[in-house]
Structure 1
Amino acid sequence: MDNPMKTKAHLENALAEAQKRIAELERHAARCGRATEDSFEDSDNASVYMTLMHEAFNASPIGLAIFDTDMRYVTINRTLADLNGKPAQDHIGRRVRDIIPDLAGEIESVMRRVLHTGQPVLDIFISGSVASQPGITRYWNQHCFPLKDNRGRVIGVSIVVEEITARRRAEEALKESEKKYRTLFDSIDEGFVLADVVFDENGRPVDAYFAETNDAAANMLGQDVTGRYFRDVFSEGRVYLLDVAGQVALTGRNVRMEHFLEPDKKWYSFFLFKIGGPDSRRIGTIFQDITERRRAEEERARLLQDTDEQRGRLQAIIDSLPVGLCITDNTGKIIFMNDIAKGIWIGRAHYAKNIEEFSSDKAWWSDTGERIAAEDMPVARSLRGEICKTLAVDFERSDGTRGTQLVSSAPIRTSDGSITGSIALIQDITEQRRAQRALRESEEKYRSLFESSIDGILLTMPDGRITAANPAACRILQMTEEEIVQAGRDGVIDTSDPRLRLALEERRRKGKARAELIFRRKDGTTFPADISSSVISDQEDHIRSSVVFRDITERKEAEKRIRKLNEELEQRVKERTGDLIETVDRLDKQREVLQTIIDSIPVMLMFYDPAGKIYLVNRELEKVLGWSKEEIQTMDLMAAVYPDPQYRREVREYMMEAEPGWKDLMMTTRSGTRVCSSWSYVRLSDGSQIGIGIDVSERRRIDQDMKRLATAIEQSGEGIVIHNPDWVIVYANPAFEALTGYGREELMGKGISDLAEYFHGNDYGDISEYISRHGKQWSGVQKRKRKSGEVIDINLTVAPVHDQEGRIMNYVSAVRDVTAELRMQNQLAQNQKLEAIGTLAGGIAHDLKNILTPIVINTEVALMDIEEDHPVRELLEEIGQAARMGSDVVSQIVTFSRRSLQEKKPVAIESVVKESVDFLRSALPSTIDIRLQLSAGNARVLADPTRIKQVMVNLGSNAGHAMRENGGNLFIETAQERLNEEKASVVSPDLKAGRYVKIMVRDTGVGMDEQTKRRIFEPFFTTKKQGEGAGMGLSVVHGIVKDHEGAVSVWSKPGKGSIFTVFLPVCRDSSGTGDEPSFLSASGDA
């Protein structure tokens, strides 16, 4: 198995998990010491243990040292003392700067950090020279650990130093050789596969064709699967992935999952998405090996601490060793082995076995391949007094697999020189050897790829000179390699392309660049090419660069088809980046919470012995449950806290499993109150358990309240917007998006000045000033402009949100569209105004009629009694004409006020319109062309035909007056239209829903402005000159249409003409569906 101390991510995760169990470790340290002594119970006495530990410390081939809180040497083993070039006794009481001043700055800085934080610092890379070999650079890997007493106080620092010079040099040589070729084919880190799913006749996925894969996919899969089928490549263990791919291809729904592939013994994360239209069966898959991450999450570190200060220091060194440690007695029997040594041999070793078992026929010399006899094993040789250093041994594990380990061993001697045992340090280098082989194979593979690649590859100098070109480059450019080298970069790439300069600048800054450039062939023709260029360096650190290019002339059209896929991938990358940022934020917050928990321990703790009996609880548990510690230790706590037998059985099963994670449990307290809590149980090596519980009742209640509040805001019909103190939008609900037409992504992060079009003026500045001055909410009606340009009326409420100190931390705006509501209110006010005027006009008309009637009659009688040439006859005729004109006005007033009762009957509306048009043709000037279009069919309305004609004549006369100077066209059209409640209310607030005959009178006259249009239905309002009209025509039209349960609307703009539209309800005896509004006849019958 991999050495866990070598993986920094593993160490960080293990450390985080160890912090969660800090409470366990404070109580468990003593037991750990006793357990260690128990392993030596067959020794003569306890001093043998201490002697072995000291001998192991000094004989270790890895440098070890301990420092006090002043960073002075307390002890150091021979290995590290020799490395420093001074005897071990010369170190004691001195600082690092006194011994190795060149490296002291970095080492003492790390020690100060460990002393300050109480946390280990791992994998510190150090390079330099030693006194015995000046001028030769050597490399070390250093780990620094805190030493703590029983109360958790840091009392010193231990340092572990491992020399890695040989390994470092070997790896650097191989990596430098590989680096030159690997960078040519670098792409995304994640595996990417395009595949076409194959279905049988029943619609079940049976196979998949791999259309395209990237290098990362080939590396993770161990082979290039492009052009092959799924079942030809993979075993039945991966068929589950084929089923998921089928679901994605059929449904189009993306799938994100993590899955353990049994054949590989690895965890992978997968993201599957569909490519193309509904009939497409192509999917894309992005996957990544997450095995190490999962291992790190599942790993649980154990930090042991001895109650005795000296034993604790030695134990800390043993625990921190990044290698396996094995100790035998003088007979070869194993008396101690750390976890790393056990893991290397995968459980073959245990305390009752003898070291000879590890040789047998299961070990070979790594260099020669010869089997190792038991007496030649390093440990056996050390028992004879030899010191064996870093011997490479191949061995067979208990599961049949083979590995390679470096073994160093030394004898353990007493003060008189007699050998009492041996100590061996074992390091598993299986993966290192495998990596070295892989690097060599990779170099050969990439050299072959350079020659056989279908893409052109150029190796260039920083000044643009070309030093090498592969066969594909020669073929694409139609040149020999010598011609390409002679032409240089400027000879094969169009230097006038501005993208070339940008690509070179990007490569200079980032070390690599991708671009699309124009290349030139030998014959002078050009073609577009995708290029990928990287900066590389050889073993002498000479800077070179590589250019990989591909002719994409034919691919241009294909790019358009996959552009959508690229956009989706970019969105996924953004989402993933956001998830990573969110995860980092959560980890930061959890780290702060964890520190607070460690400081105050606000959790419930229960400690069980191996028999399951509670022997220790903390105060938090007493406070939550209500029983004292003494009562808990003498009572059946499980029965009291979990009174339901079935539920209690489930809790016991969960405790027995002691799996990582938390489980929500409902506890019953002493008072009978039920408390929601979350528990995690950890089983220790001696069979005891620690239970960690958290009271989550209040947190659950708050979470539920927050979810309800968030749901209410999201589902609210009113627009809700939240601003920060600078009036920048930080939240907008869906209702606000629908009201304004702006999407949430357009609104987030925008200030008031950024949305000037929407705010339709500077009124929001007045609002913000009012709230800032008074510190309270503002409400009112304002105008806003939607994204579409439509201006609407809104009811706006803006309120400040204060923090505990009274400072404004946010502003909340509630927005409601009241455009239709205000329009209906205005129309209702206009109707009420006309009704009031009509009532007044009716009374006035009655009085005028009584005055004018005697004048008309007496004038006519007087005219009958006088001669034609009588001098007063002309005056009497003028009086009579004026009186008759007054009577006509009175008649119109009476009509407007609806005081006259006319008989209504079903009337074919189109015949009435035709008669009215015939009259208008003779009445209007010839410069006005009347065009009639009848589309109402046989629709009939319940009406007085004479009054409908009056409506048509009045509207036609008004249109003729508007076109009197320049002439024009008068369009009269009829049609049927069904109005729902919404459409009817737009025409008039009191218009009912149903089927209507629509009569539209449209002219091309001078039109009206808004101010005129608002007053046209008012009695006596006219735009005509004095003597041309009384201003009653449109008022009468409005009164007649209103009397017929209809409505009239108008549209007009200056210079654009006017359109008057009359809506009259269709009578029930007309052809229709029967869903017309119900109207009474003039006589009151239905």
Structure 2
Amino acid sequence: MKQEHILSVLYDLTIVIGGENKVEPLVSKFIQKLMFHTGYSVGIYFSLQSSDKEPEQQTYRITSMIGGNASLPKIGYVISFPAEFAQRVLVNPDLSDFCAGCSLTRNSIWLPAAHEGGVLLLAPEVLTPEMPVTQMFYPVMRNFAKAIRLCRINEDHLAELKNEVQQATETIRAEKNKFLQLLLSMPDAVYITDNRGIIEIANPGTEDVFGYTIDEILGHSVEELVPENNRAGHAAQVENYLRSPVSRTMAEGRRLSARKKNGEIFPVSISLNPVMVGTEQKVIVSVRDMTEYENLMRQFQQAQKMEALGTLIGGFAHDFNNLLTSITANTFFAKELVSDNKKAVELIDSIEQRGFDAAEMIRQLLAFSRNEEIKMKEVQLTALVRESLKLHSTAIPSFIEFNTEITNDDLCINGNPIQLQQVLLNLLNNARDAVLDAAKKEIRLTLQPIEANANLRKHNPKFTFPHYACITLTDSGHGIAEHVLQKIFDPFFTTKPVGKGTGLGLAMAFGTIESHQGVIEVGSVVGKGTTFKIYLPISQR
């Protein structure tokens, strides 16, 4: 073999050795090149397994084979070769233990790969490589063995890396699942925006709070959730926040509002949490609907006012009633003295009536005082409402359209019939006054049983009983402005002219319904009318 050919063979094999980083393709390509350059038709790679107890023997296992036929052992076959197999190139070695009677084993060459194993080349025809050719294999096989070790180290390292990556991926996936489960379980609206305010992720709570489906809101700007009159200022706030983003609650100390899909404006609390995703700035936004909280706060404040009023009344009502008793008694005696003076009697009657009015006011105030015991008994509410409507129907002029829808069910409650009749009278009188100068003069009263379902309980935690009787009274008056609506249950608050109202009717109604473990609610739209709803727990017989 010419020297140029030998150098070409060495170069070709060296390219294969240096071009692979995995054992299997390295061995396969190396054997193919050896077979191509030497003319052998079969190439088998034996990997060294371990030394037997006898030092003369080494255990090998077939791990790769190219060519061959059915007479040859298969991949995985284990055999022991003499120690000389690990030391030098062997031409036509004794392979009787490997494949006795195989014609291929008569023309062979063994190329040791140091401590890694060796390559056995077989051919049916006689091939006797020149000694320089066999000698040239020593450095090539040493490099081949080194390459196998490096590939094995590389594969082990890659396996470790793969395992680490897999563990890291599983950890990230588990954390992601925890985050998603947390996101999905939160009742608040939680969404993630980019640095332009575009919503990228949203939880189901966003649907409940804003009324948009997740598909409708993804890819849209948060500006759509901001009331129109606040959008200009909101854009500037977002820009300022992104300059130095920190976790915080927005606008602490002042009321924030958001806009639902249907255009409704409602109070909210907003928390911002910036996060870096790679090199991109994201913001996790949590929005809580504060409507229920504000309602509860108003109810709590109202209860505090009632409690304070009760304490105040308990202190002076007794003494004040004594004064009124003295006044009314003296008016009686005064009338006896001037009975022949008609004008004087009329004036005294007027004074006496004012005294009775003052006594009635004190009686109403005492309804809030803890010192007055409220006597409860079983009340057929359906019959009570029908009877009350008959008694009070004369108070509603005929030019006012008055419609009723009363259930035929016997709704039994535990209550005070006198107080409940007083509540109905106050509400009917207010409804009558509200429609007197309205274009459409209509009052509607209904009584129906309802079930306190999850939505009702979520709306107001005071619904602690399973079933309620609901009295709804609606008028078509001018409605009540929002800032007035928040005060209508306050004692002595009234929008009526002086002398037309004491401001105690609705305050008394609130206290009465509270004492009955019920709920009273009011809703109003300016220009359309007002609706009062009274919920009283139905007795469980």
Global fold match (TM > 0.5): yes
Rounded to whole Å, the distance in 2 between the matches of 1:919 and 1:906 is: 21
Q: Does 1:859 align with 2:325?
A: no
Instruction: Provide, for residues 226-259 of structure 1, a one-character-per-residue CA deviation record: whole Å limited to 9, x for no partner.
Output: xxxxxxxxxxxxxxxxxxxxxxxxxxxxxxxxxx
How far apart, CA to CA, are the structure 1 residues paired with 2:204 and 2:447?
42
The answer on whether the counterparts of 1:906 and 1:940 sit within 8 Å (CA) in structure 2 is yes
Q: Are 2:315 and 1:849 equivalent residues in the alignment?
A: no
Counterparts of residues 487-636 of structure 1 (less than 5 Å): 616-618=148-150, 621=153
| Structure 1 counterpart SS, 2:378 | strand
Q: Within 5 Å, give how 1:37-56 maps onto structure 2.
A: 37-39=37-39
Q: Which residue of 1 aligns with 2:108?
A: none
1:136 is matched with which residue? none
2:443 equivalent to 1:970: yes
Identify the match of residue 1042 of structure 1 among 475, 498, 514: 514
263, 267, 270: which is aligned to 1:789? 263
One-letter amino acid of the counterpart of residue 238, structure 2? S
Q: 2:281 aligns with which of 786, 806, 809?
A: 809
Per the TM alignment, residue 890 of structure 1 is displaced from its structure 2 partner at its CA by 0.8
Alpha-carbon spacing, 1:40–1:958, altered in 2? closer, same or farther (3 Å)? closer
Do structure 1's residue 949 and structure 2's residue 481 form an aligned pair? no
The 2-side partners of 1:868 and 1:734 are apart by: 83
Q: Deviations over 1:586-612 (max 9, x none)?
A: xxxxxxxxxxxxxxxxxxxxx9999xx
Correspondence for 1:776:
246
- How far the C-alpha of 1:792 sits from its partner, in A, is 4.3
State the alpha-carbon separation in 1 of the partners of residues 229 and 180 from structure 2: 23
Q: Alignment partner of 1:812: what SS?
A: strand
Distance in 2 separating the partners of 1:738 and 1:1061 = 24
Change (3 A) 1:930 1:789: closer
Write out per-residue CA displacement over residues 508-549 of structure 1, whole angstroms, 9 at most, x where no aligned residue.
xxxxxxxxxxxxxxxxxxxxxxxxxxxxxxxxxxxxxxxxxx
* Change over 3 Å in CA distance of 1:971–1:809 after alignment to 2: closer
Shift of 1:38: 2.8
Q: 2:162 matched to 1:696?
A: yes
Q: Does 1:835 align with 2:307?
A: yes
Deviation of 1:817 (Å): 4.0
C-alpha displacement at 1:616, in angstroms?
4.6
* TM-fit CA distance, 1:1030: 0.9
Q: Is the 8 A contact 1:713 1:733 kept in 2?
A: no
Deviation at 1:40, TM superposition (A): 7.8
Spell out the pairing of 1:289-328 with structure 2 (5 A cutoff): none
Q: In 2 relative to 1, CA 1032–817 (structure 1 residues): closer, same or farther, beyond 3 Å?
A: closer
Over 3 Å counting, the alpha-carbon distance change for 1:1046 and 1:985 in structure 2 is farther
Give the corresponding residue for 1:1053.
525
1:1004 partnered with 2:476: yes
Residue number among 872, 876, 890 corresponding to 2:348 in the alignment: 876
Unaligned runs of 5+ in 2: 1-17, 42-121, 126-140
Q: Check whether the contact 2:414–2:516 (CA below 8 A) recurs between aligned residues.
A: yes
Partner residue in 1 for 2:378: 906
Name the CA shift for 1:753/1:19 in 2 (closer, same or farther; >3 Å): farther
Cα distance, 1:753 vs. partner?
Answer: 5.3
| In 2: Cα distance, 1:886 partner to 1:706 partner | 74
| Contact persistence 1:798–1:812 (CA under 8 A) | yes
2:231 maps to a residue whose letter is G
Higher RCO (CA < 8 A, seq sep 6+): 2
> How far apart in 1 are the matches of 2:261 and 2:323?
61
Report the CA distance between 1:889 and its aligned residue: 1.0
Cα distance between partner residues in 2 of 1:979 and 1:1066 = 11
1:721 corresponds to 2:191? yes
In structure 2, how many angstroms separate the alpha carbons of the residues matched to 1:803 and 1:1062?
52
Q: CA deviation at 1:39?
A: 1.6
1:947-990 Cα offsets, whole Å, 9 max, x none, are: 2221221111112222334683332222211213541453x542
Judge conservation of contact 2:210–2:261 (CA < 8 Å) in 1.
Answer: yes
Letter in 1 for 2:519: A
Q: Does 1:1033 align with 2:505?
A: yes
Alignment of 1:664-703 (within 5 A): 693-703=159-169
Matched residues in 2 for 1:1061 and 1:735: separation?
28
Cα separation, partners in 2 of 1:933 and 1:847, compared to 1, 3 Å: same
In structure 2, the residue matched to 1:683 is none
RMSD across aligned positions (CA): 4.1
The question of whether the paired residues in 2 share the 8 Å contact of 1:771 and 1:778 is answered with no
In structure 2, distance between residues paired with 1:741 and 1:925: 43
Match of 2:173 among 682, 686, 707: 707
> Which structure 1 residue ranges, 5 or more long, are not aligned?
1-17, 42-349, 354-606, 623-677, 680-690, 1070-1086
- Distance change >3 Å, CA 1005–CA 713, structure 1 → 2: same
Cα contact 2:223–2:231 (8 A) shared by 1:
no
Distance 1:1013 1:701, change over 3 A: same
On the 8 A contact 1:906/1:941 being kept in 2, the answer is yes
Relative to structure 1, the CA distance from residue 35 to residue 881 in structure 2 (aligned partners, 3 Å threshold; closer, same or farther) is same
CA–CA separation in structure 1 for the residues paired with 2:434 and 2:217: 48
Q: Distance in 1 between matches of 2:40 and 2:374?
A: 123
The answer to whether the 8 Å contact 1:1008/1:1057 transfers is yes
Aligned AA (1:704): E
Alignment of 1:983 with 2:456, yes or no, is yes
Q: State the Cα deviation string for residues 391-437 of structure 1 (Å, max 9, x = none).
A: xxxxxxxxxxxxxxxxxxxxxxxxxxxxxxxxxxxxxxxxxxxxxxx
State the distance in 1 between where 2:322 and 2:142 align: 112
> What SS is found at the alignment partner of 2:284?
strand
Q: Is the 8 A contact 2:465 2:537 kept in 1?
A: no
The 3-state SS of whatever aligns with 2:533 is strand
Call closer, same or farther: CA 1:702–1:720 in 2, change over 3 Å: farther
| Structure 1 residues 953 and 788: CA distance shift in structure 2, 3 A | closer
| Residue identity matched to 1:1000 | T
Q: Alignment partner for residue 1023 of structure 1, among 495, 519, 539?
A: 495
Q: Secondary structure at the match of 1:713?
A: helix
Give 3-state SS (helix, strand or coil) of 1:1042's partner.
helix
Contact kept, 8 Å, 1:842 with 1:893, in 2: the verdict is no
Give the alignment of 1:181-196 within 5 angstroms: none
The 3 A distance-change label for structure 1 pair 998 and 701 is same
Q: Structure 1-normalised TM-score? A: 0.35
Look up the equivalent residue of 1:969 and give its one-letter code.
E
Pair 859,708 (structure 1): closer, same or farther in 2 beyond 3 Å: same
- 1:714–1:818 CA distance, 2 compared to 1 (3 A): farther
Number of matched residues?
422
Cα distance 1:763–1:743, how it changes in 2: closer, same or farther (>3 A)? farther
Q: Name the CA distance, whole Å, in 2 between partners of 1:714 and 1:813.
A: 15
**Helix, strand or coil for the counterpart of 2:250?**
strand
Counterpart pick for 1:888 among 360, 363, 366: 360
Residues 728/619 of structure 1: CA separation in 2 closer, same or farther (3 Å cut): same
Hey, what's the Cα distance between the residues in 1 that align with 2:26 and 2:495?
98
Contact kept in structure 1, 2:226 and 2:258, CA below 8 Å: no
Shift of 1:998: 1.8
- Stretch moving more, 840-849 or 1005-1014: 840-849
Give the TM-score normalised by structure 2. Answer: 0.66
Pick closer, same or farther for the CA change 1:707–1:903 going to 2, 3 Å: same
Question: How far apart in 2 are the matches of 1:608 and 1:832?
Answer: 94
1:761 paired to 2:231:
yes
Partners of 1:724 and 1:810 within 8 A in 2: yes
Q: Which amino acid aligns with 1:1038?
A: F
What residue is the counterpart of 1:935 in the other structure? 407
Return closer, same or farther for 1:1058/1:730 CA change in 2, 3 Å cut-off. Answer: closer
CA gap 1:819/1:891 in 2 versus in 1, 3 angstroms: closer
